[in-house]
A and B are shown apart, each in its own frame.
Chain A
Amino acid sequence: MTLQFAVSPDHNAAQLAPWFIFNTLLQQSLGRPCHLAAETNFDSLRKVLDASAIDIIYANAFDTAFLVREKGFLPVARGTGRSDEALVAVRPSHPARTAHDFVAPLKIAATDAPDVEMIGRILLEPSGIGPSDIEIIRCPNYVLVAKTLISANADAGFFLAESFDNLSHLVRRELRDVVRSKIYVIRHAWLIAPWLAELRTALLSVLMGMTKDEPGRALLAELGQPGGWEEMTSEDAEFMIDLMSTLV
């Protein structure tokens, strides 16, 4: 049977090609046909996850919580030295200098990434900004979040810190980050379905093996994960999920 493999939309949007190469590596190493289910937004991904139609996934922390706690998925690995941090940015002329300076109501440009939005909202709490003070302007990607902000169609923007730092110099110049999260423990994770538990060790060794040869290292760099992967135990995942549950 063909294994269905998915990648969190915020990690495949800009770079689907290396994930297809990874899919080939996965097929060769596991000796099983694999199919990359290229879901490009979190809603459509959640539908296939709900239907138990995915066997292996590189998931964000929200989907990890759902898959581990509700569907019994097993954690396998996570990126070494890379955490999912968020930030709140404004136009350079905006008066806010710190997390205390925002004034309600706020129009905020954001993608559909739920972890970034959750952290973004927490970063605004010191200003006394609550859920009802925020109107979200949904954008398909971070370049469009930046554009919405620059064209003054929003007061602030929620960004994945890594995506903000990777915006072009020209775009970055038109924006200023006011507050950034330093949470360290919220990370994407490799998970495998409970009905494939016997493949967990094989998947872990495919992932861990990638730093061992040049093609593997090149692919890791293209996937934005030059440090490779490290094992994620069940308690690592449970700890992250408990922490997330204090933030929602």
Chain B
Amino acid sequence: MLRDITPDDIAGPGIPHTLRYFDGTTRNVVVTSIETPFPSGELIVSQTDPKGIITMCNEAFVRMSGYSREELLGAPHHILRHPDMPAAAFEDLWKTILSGKKWHGYVKNLRKDGGFYWVYATIVPNIRNKMITGYTSVRREPDRRKVEEYARLYAAMLLDQRSFL
């Protein structure tokens, strides 16, 4: 179970949300409007097992997420899920990588302190001896215009998702 993000964890005012994950678990978080800029020239890298549990992450990943490496290793990758991301984006992600293909997309991630950062992510399956042994995700700095375009698209998808529920 992931620990909640509470008003004590964040800097300044925030908005509470309850995230409902694909596996049926929930997490209460508080989000702020504070964006952390992408570190220029770097890549944010992580690896997971076949179920999406984090098995490796680089220093930029630790720094940008706001968590310690110990908190990240062994945690499900949805530890970074932001309430502004529609479920459909992740359904497409999992459908693509489970079939052994590469997935690309723009993702808004949630930091431990309730803030966020945008990335352009690419996920590839790690294929060893013809078997998927895990996944590698590499995020790079996105073009701002694309971020604005996807922020609008995701907001519309969320509205649609909520009216359907």
Chain A residues near B (Cβ < 8 Å): 98-100, 122-123, 125-128, 179-185, 238-239, 242-243, 245-247
Asked whether any CB of chain A lies closer than 8 Å to the CB of B144, the reply is yes
The answer to whether B45 touches A243, judged by C-beta atoms less than 8 angstroms apart, is yes
Looking across the interface, which residue of chain B has its beta carbon closest to that of A235?
A: B128
Among A126, A183, A242, the residue within 8 A (CB) of B136 is: A242
Are A127 and B143 CB-contacts (below 8 A) given A238-B128, A245-B102, A247-B122? yes
The segment from B35-43, B69-77, B81-89 that touches chain A is B35-43
Q: Bound state CA distance, A54 and B110, in angstroms?
A: 48
The answer to whether A126 touches B142, judged by C-beta atoms less than 8 angstroms apart, is yes
Q: Which residues of A contact B141 (CB under 8 A)?
A: 99, 125-126
The answer to whether A179 touches B126, judged by C-beta atoms less than 8 angstroms apart, is no
The answer to whether A126 touches B123, judged by C-beta atoms less than 8 angstroms apart, is no
Q: Which residues of A contact B138 (CB under 8 A)?
A: 243, 246-247
Looking across the interface, which residue of chain A has its beta carbon closest to that of B141?
A: A126
User: Which DSSP category, helix, strand, loop or mixed, fits chain A's interface?
Assistant: mixed
CB distance from A153 to the nearest CB of B (A): 26
B102-145, CB < 8 A from A? 102, 120, 122-124, 126, 128, 136-138, 140-145
The answer to whether A183 touches B43, judged by C-beta atoms less than 8 angstroms apart, is yes
Q: Which residues of A contact B102 (CB under 8 A)?
A: 245-246
Looking across the interface, which residue of chain B has its beta carbon closest to that of A125?
A: B143
Q: Which residues of B contact A122 (CB under 8 A)?
A: 140
Among A127, A183, A238, A243, the residue within 8 A (CB) of B42 is: A183
Q: Bound state CA distance, A185 and B42, in angstroms?
A: 11
The answer to whether B126 touches A238, judged by C-beta atoms less than 8 angstroms apart, is yes
Q: Bound state CA distance, A180 and B41, in angstroms?
A: 5
CB distance from A47 to the nearest CB of B (A): 28
CB distance from A227 to the nearest CB of B (A): 20
The answer to whether B120 touches A125, judged by C-beta atoms less than 8 angstroms apart, is yes
Are A182 and B126 CB-contacts (below 8 A) given A125-B120, A243-B136? no
CB distance from A70 to the nearest CB of B (A): 14
The answer to whether B41 touches A246, judged by C-beta atoms less than 8 angstroms apart, is no
Among A99, A100, A185, the residue within 8 A (CB) of B41 is: A99
Q: Bound state CA distance, A184 and B45, in angstroms?
A: 11
Q: Bound state CA distance, A122 and B43, in angstroms?
A: 10
Among B40, B47, B145, the residue within 8 A (CB) of A128 is: B145
Q: Bound state CA distance, A100 and B38, in angstroms?
A: 12
Q: Bound state CA distance, A128 and B149, in angstroms?
A: 13
CB distance from B102 to the nearest CB of A (A): 7
The answer to whether B123 touches A246, judged by C-beta atoms less than 8 angstroms apart, is yes
The answer to whether A100 touches B45, judged by C-beta atoms less than 8 angstroms apart, is no
The answer to whether A126 touches B42, judged by C-beta atoms less than 8 angstroms apart, is no
Apart from A128-B144, A238-B126, 4 more pairs, CB < 8 Å = A99-B141, A127-B143, A246-B123, A247-B140
